[in-house]
Structure 1
Amino acid sequence: MNKSKVLLLKNCSTGLVSQVMTLIFQFLTRSLFIRYIGIELLGVYSTFTSVLSTLSLAELGFQTAIVFSLYKPLAQRDEQQINDIVNVFRFVYDCIGAFFILASLALLPFLKYILTGITVTNAIYLYFLIQAFSSACTYFLAYKRSLLYADQKDYISKIIDMIVNVIANILQIIAMVYFKDYLLYLVLKLMQVIVSNIWVHWVCARLYPFLKRGKINFTLLRSLFSNVKNIFAGKIAAYVYSSTDSLVISAFISTVQVGYLVNYTTISQQLKTLIAGLLNPITPMIGNVLATDSEGESKEGAFKLYAVMRVLIAMMIVVPFCVLINDFIAMWVGAEYILPASVVVLLVMDLYIHFVHSVNVDFINAAGLFREDRDNEIIAAVLNITLSILGAKTIGLAGVLLGTVVSQMWFWFGRSYVVFKLCLQADKEDYLKYWLKNIVDGVALTVSIVFCAYLNSRLPIANSYLKFVCSGILCEAVSVALFGVFHFGDPEVRKMLKYLVNHIGKR
């Protein structure tokens, strides 16, 4: 096995293990947080996280631009160029960290308008400042993480984060259960960030002894801005999609409602992260196909195969999520935290669209169509924030999520159009066939959910935990079976099955 494959295996395996451990601790600490500290402070913590995510837009996209600029000098082992780039990154992140702290202080008088239904005391201000300083430390200390990532050694930072995360979470659990002290919990969170970043910083100093502080290469800094401009639109769209819902809910409905919703979005977000970790290695494979296929047939074949694969994964995750999420919430944090069915349906729609439409995202990234995707991102961001605010005022919590789903649909339409027109060079007939297949898959998903929900309600099992497990197995069996029925005779499914059989045979 060559070096690149070994590094790929290390990065994928450590990333997956790290994410699973994070997921386990997140569920554990979240349930203990609600029990020993309270849902109100969970809402406050989540709202502050969203506020600080707004300030993180000051990063503009420099990290992505820096990572791309490091690939060539790392391949050539150009130590001087690597050192210049890292020094520029350090300078930029020092400026952003300083801005982050000043902006956090400037936001203090406005917290009482962001937190509704919560009495804003001096303690609340202190909680916000500690969270803000924790975020600022990421900029002051973590710029060398990008060097590890670009050099295919991200597994090192993942291992360090995993070790520190385990120790910190154990201490945070003690702080919640035995001391019931939210301030101590936040301080431990801050120490977790500082310790892990200092450790990564020290490891980088050993791996790259040629890195020295020096003068800032402003010519290099200016050249990076050309990439940053296109990347920034994507950062805004990603922020609006992932962070503004909590702010809108807190400002227009109730901060406590944020805490209720976070119980659900924690699960959906972790599912997205797990699947992303599983499928991320496919993107460079797509890039290779796009670079070598002059006829276009392999491009279209790869797209169809990957799209079918994502539909199958989506059904296997979304069906049990929809049917069992309320049962899981009841067992995890209590039945009193269950949200209405309309909210669950919208979360399911968002989750399904994310999984299925991301085939277009991966092809856009592999083809480098960032500028062409920029308008989609800007329009989707405006749609999301506008419709979410209107929905919050007229419908409530479900209205906020409806705005998110509509913006996701725009992403899907816009990005699929970019891929079919500019990447696959396909005609309108192929594009219409793509959407016809997606409509059929939507019907298959709906039938699966309705049938599995019926089976779940009729299962004669008294023990809630055993019923949950049996229902989960049934959901998986039904979703795979109906996927097979609706895709019977599909050539992409045959290719996928052939690949899996050959792969398992080799193993």
Structure 2
Amino acid sequence: MARNELKIGTALSMMTIITSSVIQILYTPLYMKYLGPGDYGINSLVQSIMGYISILNLGLGNTMLRYTTRYRAEGKIEEEKSLNGMFLVIFSILMTIAFIIGVYIYINIGKFFGERFTLVELEKTKAVFIILALNVIISFPMGIFSTNITSREKFIYQRGVKLITIILNPIVGAILMINGFGLIAVTVSTVCFAILSYFFDMIYAFKLGMKIKFSKFNNDILKEIFVYSFFIFLNVLIDQIYWGTDRVIIGKYVGVQGIAIYSVGAIFNTLYMGFASAVSGVLFPRINRLIVEEKHQEVDDMFLKIGRLQYILLGLISSGFILFGKDFITLWVGKEYIEAYNIALWIMIPLTVPLIQSTGVSIMQAKNMHQFRSIVYFIIAILNLLLSIIFVKKVGAIGCAIATGISFILGQIIVMNIYYKVSVGLDIVKFWKNIIKMSIPMGIVMIFGYILNYYLIEINYLNFLIKIGLYTISYGILLWFMGLNNYEKSQVYIWKK
């Protein structure tokens, strides 16, 4: 049953990501048409600000997952109940702090963005902020139920609910926009779907047997949890600096139009990361169990196996975007957003390496070895922040993407691969030999892609579909004969059955 749960959960994750990608591709031009790039930029900006409030969970979600999994594996039922109660209290305190910070940010929105925003844009930004802040604040205590469900590896339920939400949410949003309702109504509908998901999580968690006990907290465990969480918190903070600060900087120095262009480019990288996490996202409980059982060779094999599987998919996406990305953006949202192509590439190419090694993050967390990564990432994130401010003043929105790309190369590629090899004990040399070997057929098929571009010059939907269709087929054939190993081919046969 656990194997089927993982397999079906992974399939649902992939379905969710594909569905989300298709919907986002269809929804964005609709959003631009009915609400305009200004409202699109405002929504993207506020979402980024919400990311800063969200990091107040201090990485405790992953920490709770780790300790809940451990207690259940060790049969410590009473300790698990007390753990749930302790985290509920902690998250309730954090919810209060988030509310106070939210009030402070709301009061100062005009002071920070007043130079580049009109009065109407400022009022919309404040309204959207209030609505989304409500969702983030509620999410703190409600998160314990989702984490408890994850610890039981109930991926079918979680991925299923997420898939339904991803489908219904934009449908309702589209209906509202088409019928003349504005940004505020669309934002309210999004928050309503989120709150409904929290409610279902709570019911299902209790149905699975989740118990909450408010007994005297174990101070030693509490201290251990916060020490463990601190470095995960740093990772979350760093991710927010990487992915959230850019829009804030662009909003201050460029304006909402710059945010809109940057956000279009960022969409591709968001989808890119989503595809990579479809497999690795359901593996943390299993990796944690293998670490506890000291099956280190299986962990190393999993790192390589998942990395190769991710690279098969990401190689197709990244190479295809390099070849046909400009055509897609022109057909999708128009030539005026063509700068988004370079923005996406500056992030996508360096991002590929940490994505295909994302299982390594789960391994480090399970081994409680993530402290070094957190420190390195924090230093690189500060560098990214400084470079973003310098570059955006000189070259506009793309400056933030250039700064992010440079930061990825220094921190997430060079430094972390050395650490994986020397300290974590992963066979990085073997990993890269595999990746280089797989890259050879990808390089060959990219030559074919350039030939397609040479002969099919006119940008229209027919030529675009012909190019991506022929390229995808060629990619699959060449990779099958030159890149895939026996295990990967066997997985294709299994899914066909």
TM-score higher than 0.5 here?
Answer: yes
Match of 1:345 in 2: 345
Looking at structure 2, the residues matched to 372 and 12 of structure 1 have their Cα atoms a distance apart, in angstroms, of 30
C-alpha displacement of 1:293:
6.8
SS at match of 1:214: coil
Looking at structure 2, the residues matched to 145 and 299 of structure 1 have their Cα atoms a distance apart, in angstroms, of 26
Which amino acid is 2:116 matched to?
G
Match of 2:462 in 1: 466
Looking at structure 1, the residues matched to 310 and 492 of structure 2 have their Cα atoms a distance apart, in angstroms, of 20
1:439–1:463 Cα change, 3 Å: closer
C-alpha displacement of 1:436:
9.0
Looking at structure 2, the residues matched to 299 and 269 of structure 1 have their Cα atoms a distance apart, in angstroms, of 27
Match of 1:166 in 2: 167
Q: Deviations over 1:278-317 (max 9, x none)?
A: 34456747984997678x7x88777666655554443211
C-alpha displacement of 1:30:
2.1
SS at match of 1:229: helix
TM-score by length of 2: 0.86
Q: Is the 8 A contact 1:137 1:193 kept in 2?
A: no
Q: Is the 8 A contact 1:322 1:348 kept in 2?
A: no
Q: Is the 8 A contact 1:115 1:254 kept in 2?
A: no
Looking at structure 1, the residues matched to 190 and 81 of structure 2 have their Cα atoms a distance apart, in angstroms, of 31
Which amino acid is 1:409 matched to?
I
Which ranges in structure 2 are unaligned for 5 or more consecutive residues?
none
Query: Where do residues 252-291 of structure 1 align in structure 2 (5 Å cutoff)?
Result: 252-280=253-281, 284=286, 288=290
1:476 aligns with 2:472: yes
C-alpha displacement of 1:157:
3.2
Q: Is the 8 A contact 2:85 2:214 kept in 1?
A: yes
Tell me which moved more, 406-415 or 13-22. Answer: 13-22
Looking at structure 2, the residues matched to 29 and 221 of structure 1 have their Cα atoms a distance apart, in angstroms, of 44
1:420 aligns with 2:421: yes
1:151–1:218 Cα change, 3 Å: same
Q: Is the 8 A contact 1:67 1:146 kept in 2?
A: yes
Looking at structure 1, the residues matched to 199 and 66 of structure 2 have their Cα atoms a distance apart, in angstroms, of 24
1:287–1:385 Cα change, 3 Å: farther
Q: Is the 8 A contact 1:330 1:337 kept in 2?
A: yes
C-alpha displacement of 1:67:
0.7
Match of 1:371 in 2: 371
1:338–1:162 Cα change, 3 Å: same
Q: Is the 8 A contact 1:286 1:302 kept in 2?
A: no
Which amino acid is 1:257 matched to?
G
Q: Is the 8 A contact 1:116 1:253 kept in 2?
A: no
1:188 aligns with 2:228: no
C-alpha displacement of 1:16:
2.5
TM-score by length of 1: 0.84
1:125 aligns with 2:121: no
SS at match of 2:192: helix
Identity among equivalent pairs (%): 16
Match of 2:69 in 1: 71
Which ranges in structure 1 are unaligned for 5 or more consecutive residues?
none
Q: Is the 8 A contact 1:86 1:144 kept in 2?
A: no
Looking at structure 2, the residues matched to 98 and 473 of structure 1 have their Cα atoms a distance apart, in angstroms, of 52
Which amino acid is 1:258 matched to?
I
Looking at structure 1, the residues matched to 283 and 469 of structure 2 have their Cα atoms a distance apart, in angstroms, of 28
Q: Is the 8 A contact 2:272 2:314 kept in 1?
A: no
Match of 1:144 in 2: 145
1:446–1:54 Cα change, 3 Å: farther
Match of 2:487 in 1: 499
Looking at structure 1, the residues matched to 436 and 387 of structure 2 have their Cα atoms a distance apart, in angstroms, of 24
Match of 2:177 in 1: 176
Tell me which moved more, 360-369 or 272-281. Answer: 360-369
1:170–1:88 Cα change, 3 Å: same
Q: Is the 8 A contact 1:66 1:89 kept in 2?
A: yes
Which amino acid is 1:399 matched to?
G
Looking at structure 2, the residues matched to 286 and 474 of structure 1 have their Cα atoms a distance apart, in angstroms, of 42
SS at match of 2:189: helix
Match of 1:30 in 2: 28
Query: Where do residues 42-57 of structure 1 align in structure 2 (5 Å cutoff)?
Result: 42-57=40-55
Looking at structure 1, the residues matched to 9 and 492 of structure 2 have their Cα atoms a distance apart, in angstroms, of 22
Tell me which moved more, 307-316 or 131-140. Answer: 307-316
What's the RMSD between the two structures over aligned residues? 3.4
Tell me which moved more, 142-151 or 154-163. Answer: 154-163
Tell me which moved more, 75-84 or 393-402. Answer: 75-84
Match of 1:456 in 2: 453
SS at match of 1:23: helix
Q: Is the 8 A contact 2:266 2:344 kept in 1?
A: no
Match of 2:381 in 1: 381
Match of 2:199 in 1: 198
